[in-house]
Amino acid sequence: MSPNTHRLYISMLVTIGVLITLLLAYQGFSYYSTSLEERFYHPDHANFKPSGIYGHGLGIVGTLLILIGVFSYIARKRYKSLARLGRLKYWLEFHIFLCSVGPVMVLFHTAFKFGGIVSISFWSMVAVVASGVIGRFIYIQIPRTIEGRELSLSEVQSLKSNVEDILVGSYGLDAAHSGTILESIRVAPRAKGGNLLSGMINKYFEDKKTIRRVKKILRDNHLPQTHVLQISRLIKREISLNNRIERLQTMQKLFKYWHVAHLPFAIIMLIIMVVHVAVTLAFGYRWIF
């Protein structure tokens, strides 16, 4: 999958997720905005209540999406024979999509009424989704091969370019200006005990200033705009690699801890979900069949 195709793929998944959420909210806004005490008298109560044809259907479809998203991704990670069906990163992205849309459908299935043992499953699901967002953020901070394999520190360092040779040899910058650019992209060691999140946010804005400063230096040297853009991309890549190298060990540790937190919530959610479905069937609730 080319970069442009991949961006289109991600955009399509995000668009579908947003549209589904908006459609569900639009369809049932009148019912969901009615107080719990008055919903029984709402003309759409028979359809939108959790056991109604619409509400029940959302629960079934949402549950299936979650199960498909979880177990298909586990299977792809465990069985190497599935590698020919696509790279792991694409499966992860589809897993995230299904496990985002599924919980949204389950949320509308509940009609925003939570109680009993099912509420434990629901809030476990919320915790799984929230931790999944955090896990995705940590995941993308760790450099990987195009197949999704995690790179070692030495492999990441080997990706770095000899920026000084490129600036002087390919673009004709003098030693003083190339030295200024090189100095600006070096990552200062992070203070021990400092807040990682605030440090990353501050570094993000510092990097933006660095890129603007580099562009000014290049324009002062009367380089063509095409060269300015090319060098800016090179510097952005170098800054990104420097940041990732500096945070690599921290992110690897966080990712291990994240698995410890993510998995129990997922197991609790799935167990109670199975119990809920079994009880529903035992009491004779049916959908369209």
Q: How is the chain split into domains, by residue range?
A: 3-151+254-282, 155-247
pLDDT of residue 270: 82
* CA distance linking residue 72 with residue 63, whole number of Å: 14
pTM: 0.66
* CA distance linking residue 227 with residue 104, whole number of Å: 47
Q: Give the other-Cβ count within 10 Å of 239's Cβ.
A: 20
Which ranges in the chain belong to alpha helices (H)?
Answer: 3-32, 45-48, 53-78, 88-109, 116-141, 153-158, 163-165, 175-184, 196-220, 225-282
Q: How far is CA 121 from CA 29, 142, 264, in A?
A: 24, 31, 12
User: What are the φ and ψ backbone dihedral angles of 142, each rounded to 5 degrees?
Assistant: -95, 115
Lookup: tokens for 23: 């459609």
pLDDT of residue 140: 73
Q: Give the other-Cβ count within 10 Å of 138's Cβ.
A: 17
Distance of CA 69 to the CA centre of its chain: 14
pLDDT mean across residues, the chain: 78
Half-sphere exposure at residue 270, Cβ-oriented, CA atoms within 13 angstroms: 16
pLDDT of residue 155: 62
Who contacts 167 (Cβ-Cβ below 8 Å, separation ≥6)? Answer: 173, 177, 178, 181, 182, 231
- Tell me the pLDDT of the chain (289 aa) as tens digits: 677 787 888 899 999 999 999 999 998 888 888 888 888 888 888 888 888 888 888 988 998 998 898 888 888 878 877 777 877 778 888 888 998 898 899 889 888 887 666 677 777 778 887 877 777 777 777 766 545 556 666 666 665 667 767 777 776 777 777 777 777 776 555 555 556 667 777 777 888 888 888 888 778 777 788 888 888 888 888 887 777 777 777 777 777 777 777 778 788 888 888 888 787 778 777 676 5
DSSP state of 189: P
**Taking Cα atoms as reference points, which of 110, 108, 113 lies closest to residue 37?**
113
* CA distance linking residue 80 with residue 63, whole number of Å: 27
pLDDT of residue 233: 83
**Taking Cα atoms as reference points, which of 279, 273, 258, 277 lies closest to residue 122?**
273
The 3-state DSSP class for residue 33 equals: coil
pLDDT of residue 207: 82
Residue with tokens 């049932």: 28
**Taking Cα atoms as reference points, which of 108, 103, 44, 132 lies closest to residue 270?**
103
Q: How far is CA 185 from CA 98, 142, 180, 232, 273, in A?
A: 39, 20, 9, 11, 50
pLDDT of residue 87: 79
* CA distance linking residue 101 with residue 66, whole number of Å: 8
Q: How far is CA 127 from CA 26, 253, 262, 268, in A?
A: 26, 20, 8, 11
